[in-house]
Structure formats: structure tokens, C-alpha cells
Chains A and B, each alone.
Chain A
Amino acid sequence: MSTQDLLVFDNVSFSYNEDDENPSFAVKDVSFSVRKGEFLVILGHNGSGKSTLAKLSNAIFIPTTGKVFVNGMDTSLPENEIPVRKNVGVVFQNPDNQIVSSIVEEDVAFGPENLAVDPKEIRIRVDEALKAVGMYERRFSETHRLSGGQKQRVAIAGIIAMRPGCIVLDEPTAMLDPKGRADVLNTIRALNKDHGISVVLITHFMEEAVYADRVLVIDQARIRAVGKPREIFSQREMLKECGLELPDTAKLCDKLRDRGIGIRDDILTEEELIAEIIKRSGK
């Protein structure tokens, strides 16, 4: 564990029925760490235990065995609860169930208010957070009038107003339309790139893993693979076993290869594929 690591899972297991004779584990022997400024994507099929990871990361759940550390603080100690949650913010799937207040800016202020931040400082943080997610113009809007993607961006603003070092997003795009999904993903990438916030994106959409620094594949409560997106994406068999569907670009590459067109096997994005096709047809 180095000082660069914001969030560390050290051999963590978690069971919802630990008192039973044969406890079943939602998370089993998981170890990984999130470095400062890193964009980590955790990929997993439904029921793989990935949502439990989100709740383990900020002391909502305490590991059955093993430890989770946030900035070196053990999440299992009650006195660390608030500092841990201040450092690791979690955004969930359903934006409707995370918004506390009927007005956008009042909702974003909820976190800093709980942390007893000075009102003037709250104002600054709320404005900053709303600008960072591109919702500053809608700060006086009623939350129920926003679209799903906008609500989710407000929920993200509510977390970054607490100034955490790391945000964990648990399937933030699962309930959104394509436009909302694109907006939220762009917001997440901008927060990571421009504001240096570490991001852990938990998802089952493989195309969301394309821009990650590192991808972690989780299956049946255990870590199945860790690596750069290109390394992970090329392990087609393993991904299929984990119940994950390849992005359209990768599927197209596979089909082209089946037809005997020798395309590079490390292509991830549409742009790369287009460039490759143009290059080959130009010959």
C-alpha cells in the first residue's frame, strides 16, 4: 500500500448472511487499490457483486473479513465513518432516489451542509460543482423537471461539492437514455481529467471501459482479470464467460477478421476503427 493509493481493498470478503452456517459471499477475497487521479472501471455482469463493492468503499457496508482503507483510514472504525465518506463519494444508479431537495442548488449544498461548512464556502463549492457538471444554468430549477441525465449530473455535483478525492459511481448510466448516458460519461471523464478526481466507474457496459486507465473484471464475487482496456478487450473468451457483451466496435472487428480481413486486434474506439479501415482500403 503506497501513499499514492486513495482507496485500498485488502483481501475483502462480504456476506449478507454471515451468521448462517453456509454464508454466501457477494464479494470474496478482493484486493485492489485506486491511485490518485486514476480512472478505474470495474466491469461485471448483474449479480457479480459489483454494487456491493461501491457500498464497501465508503463504510456503508463493513467487510466481513479483510479491510478497506481510505487515505489510510480503516473503514471499520466508527470514528472514521464521516472522514471516509467525505473522501470517497458514491453515486448510485437511480438519480431519483439520491436527490434530497426539490431545488438543484439546495440539493448540491446538502453534503457540505452536513459537513458544517461555512455558508459562504458552501456557496463557492455549490457553484463550482454545478459548473463542473455543466448544470450551473439550471441551479434554480426544480429537480423533478430535469431529465434523467441531468438529474444524475446533479447527483454527481452533490458528491463533488464535498470535495472527495475519489468518486465511486455504481452503474450511473443504467437508467438513462443514450443522450443522458453520453452527457454523464463526458462529465465523469472531465472530472477525472480536468479536476484530477479519482474515478471508480462500476458498470456492465463494456464500451464505458474504453477510456479507463485500468479495467477490473469481476465475476461471481471474485476478481477475474485486471489490466489496461486493450489487454482486457482482447480476452474475448474470458469476457464471454463473465457474461459481458463486447462493444459494437469490437464485434465489428471480430466479424471483419472472420471474413479474413486482418484488422489489428487492439482497436477500441470507433475513431480507431475508421482510421484503420481507411488505412487498409487506401493500400
Chain B
Amino acid sequence: MIRDITIGQFFPGKSLIHKLDPRAKILLTILYIVSLFICRNFFSLILMLGFAIACVLISAISPGLIWKSLRSIIFIVLFTSALQLFYNNDGDVLWKPFEDHKFCITTGGVYSAVFLAVRIISLILFTSLLTYTTSPNMLTDAIERLLSPLKLFRIKVHSLAMMMTIALRFIPTLINEIDIIMSAQKARGASLDNGSIAKRMKAMTSVFIPLFVSAFRRAADLAVAMECRCYTDGANRTRLKVMRFSILDYLAFAVVILLCFAAIFTTYYHFSDSLLFKAVLK
């Protein structure tokens, strides 16, 4: 179970998306998220979803993996959609179970529930693509470079990036360790899977305390190993991979900016599809 976590994992490939400069990918992702929240109607939203799906296809990441990352958020999608369904009381009443109570489901509720679900799914599709197609180190490298202006305010950007690199590197190691500790504690008779939630939480301390102890030991070892490899504060480091924007990156920027404009255009120029949507429902 615990090994199924795929968020933040990198799947090497040779697609156009893989070849984009990681800095460009981060900026484009931000731009996409902004566009996604500009969208107010289905025309623009379908456009965004379509773009996300197209990018997934170009990236050649297997659909199984995409499904895995979507599956992990399905509960959140359902939950927020359900809330929308009941809280939005605009439009015509579709279902009113209690005569004397305000509680009801309306067309407006259904509309915003579906709208939100599509928005979250697009968001996850596109953002998970960033981590799937970019090696964690390139990602932190890119963040380091994008944040480098903060050096003016004496923020240690390199140290932050190094912390992220190491954190990402140790995720699989620590997940593996949790597995081992859980098995070891179960073998000693700990019941981690039964009982009330409070009881289970309490039982988990027997997993987390050894985990923390081991994590600190690893940290101490790693610090020595890094010193052995001449690591100081990272002030004058060079890099194996030099980042340079190519035509591909400029093209990608052009496409996403166009998409952003399309979203604004379809949102603010009369394409009011809630009417259309209501017609479909009736």
C-alpha cells in the first residue's frame, strides 16, 4: 500500500515535455494554474482540461500512472463537489427531500459541483506532469535559480534547495524503513491495523519513534559523507547540467500564454454556458 505513493516521482523519458527546461516547466505550471482559476465557464474549462490531456499524451507517461495520481485525490474531489452540491442554492430546485426545510439540490449546485471536479482534475493532471517529467534534482535546481533574486535579501536559496534535494532523495528510503519497522513491531505483537482510530494513532508512536531515531542517524552519516565530498556552503558550486532556454521553451510559453488569453476571452465575452447547461439538465 505504502509503496504505491507516486506523487513527486520522476519517470525518465524522451518526450517534448521531458525536454523542456525545468524553469520553464515551473513557470508554465504556475501560469496554467492561474488560467485555471480565471475560468468561470465550461467553454474555458474544457479548453484547459483538453490542454492538460494533450500534454499528458505528449509526455507519453503511462495512463496507469496518471490514474494512480488521480485515484489518490478522488476522495477530495468527491467531498468538495458534494459540499458544492448542497451549499449552492442558485437556480431551479431539482430535489427537495424535506418540505419544511431549506435543504435542496438545485441546478446551480450541480453546475458548480461538476465545475469544481473538472477544475481539480485538470489541476492534478497538469501539476503531476511537472514532477513526473522532471528529475527531482533538476526541479530543485530550477527552483534555486528562479528564487536566486532572493539572495539580495540574504535568504540562503542554495541551502533551501539542498534541503529539498535531500528530502526527495530520502522519501523512498524512509518509506522502506516504515515498512520494515511496521513489520518488526507487528512481529513483536503490536496491533497497528485494529482498534479505534485513537488506539491506532497511539500504536503508531511505536513506528514513528524508531523512524525518527533512524532518520537522525542517517542525517548525521550523510552530513559526514557530504563533508568528505568537499561540500561547504554551496557558494561556489558549479553544475553538471547547465540550463539554457531553447526554442522549444519559448514555443511552450507562447502556447500557454495563448491558452491563458483564450481562457480570459471565453470567460469574459458572453459565452455564458450556465444557460446551456440548464437547458441540458431540463
Contacts of B10 in A (CB 8 A): 102-103, 142
A116 B221 Cβ-Cβ under 8 A: no
A150: min CB distance to chain B, Å: 15
Q: Which of B172, B221, B237 contacts A113 (CB 8 A)?
A: B237
Stretch at the interface among A12-20, A85-93, A209-217: A85-93
Contacts of A101 in B (CB 8 A): 137, 165, 169
B contact residues, range: 20 to 34
CB-CB nearest in chain A for B135 = A103
CB-CB nearest in chain A for B162 = A100
B7: min CB distance to chain A, Å: 14
- Chain B positions 61-109 with a Cβ under 8 Å from a chain A Cβ: none
CB-CB nearest in chain A for B176 = A144
- Chain A positions 72-106 with a Cβ under 8 Å from a chain B Cβ: 82, 85-86, 89-90, 92, 94, 96-103, 105-106
Contacts of B224 in A (CB 8 A): 55, 60, 92
CA distance A85 to B241 in the complex (A): 24
Contacts of A100 in B (CB 8 A): 165-166, 169, 222, 225-226, 229
- Per-residue 0/1 for B184-225: is the Cβ within 8 Å of any A Cβ (1 yes, 0 no)? 000000000000000000000000000000000110011011
Asked if A165 is at the interface of the complex by the 8 Å CB criterion, the answer is: no
Asked if A252 is at the interface of the complex by the 8 Å CB criterion, the answer is: no
CA distance A110 to B215 in the complex (A): 22
B237 A123 Cβ-Cβ under 8 A: no
B173 A116 Cβ-Cβ under 8 A: no
B240 A109 Cβ-Cβ under 8 A: yes
B230 A115 Cβ-Cβ under 8 A: yes
Asked if B168 is at the interface of the complex by the 8 Å CB criterion, the answer is: yes
Contacts of B176 in A (CB 8 A): 144
Q: Which of A96, A102, A116 contacts B136 (CB 8 A)?
A: A102
B230 A117 Cβ-Cβ under 8 A: no
Asked if B279 is at the interface of the complex by the 8 Å CB criterion, the answer is: no
Contacts of A105 in B (CB 8 A): 240
- Chain A positions 99-136 with a Cβ under 8 Å from a chain B Cβ: 99-103, 105-106, 109-119, 122-123, 126
B225 A85 Cβ-Cβ under 8 A: no
A116 B229 Cβ-Cβ under 8 A: no
CA distance A233 to B229 in the complex (A): 35
A60 B172 Cβ-Cβ under 8 A: no
CB-CB nearest in chain A for B228 = A90
Contacts of A155 in B (CB 8 A): 225
Contacts of A111 in B (CB 8 A): 229-230
CA distance A142 to B10 in the complex (A): 9
CB-CB nearest in chain A for B236 = A116
Q: Which of A90, A102, A126, A144 contacts B137 (CB 8 A)?
A: A102
Contacts of B221 in A (CB 8 A): 92, 94, 97-98
Asked if B4 is at the interface of the complex by the 8 Å CB criterion, the answer is: no
Contacts of A117 in B (CB 8 A): 238
Contacts of B135 in A (CB 8 A): 102-103, 106
B228 A85 Cβ-Cβ under 8 A: yes
CA distance A90 to B238 in the complex (A): 22
Asked if A159 is at the interface of the complex by the 8 Å CB criterion, the answer is: yes
Asked if A173 is at the interface of the complex by the 8 Å CB criterion, the answer is: no
CA distance A86 to B231 in the complex (A): 11
Asked if A158 is at the interface of the complex by the 8 Å CB criterion, the answer is: yes
CA distance A85 to B232 in the complex (A): 12
CA distance A96 to B240 in the complex (A): 22
A85 B229 Cβ-Cβ under 8 A: yes
A119 B241 Cβ-Cβ under 8 A: yes
Contacts of B234 in A (CB 8 A): 114
Contacts of B247 in A (CB 8 A): none
Contacts of B241 in A (CB 8 A): 106, 119
B222 A97 Cβ-Cβ under 8 A: yes
Asked if B275 is at the interface of the complex by the 8 Å CB criterion, the answer is: no
Q: Which of A85, A89, A118 contacts B238 (CB 8 A)?
A: A118
Q: Which of A89, A97, A119, A162 contacts B240 (CB 8 A)?
A: A119
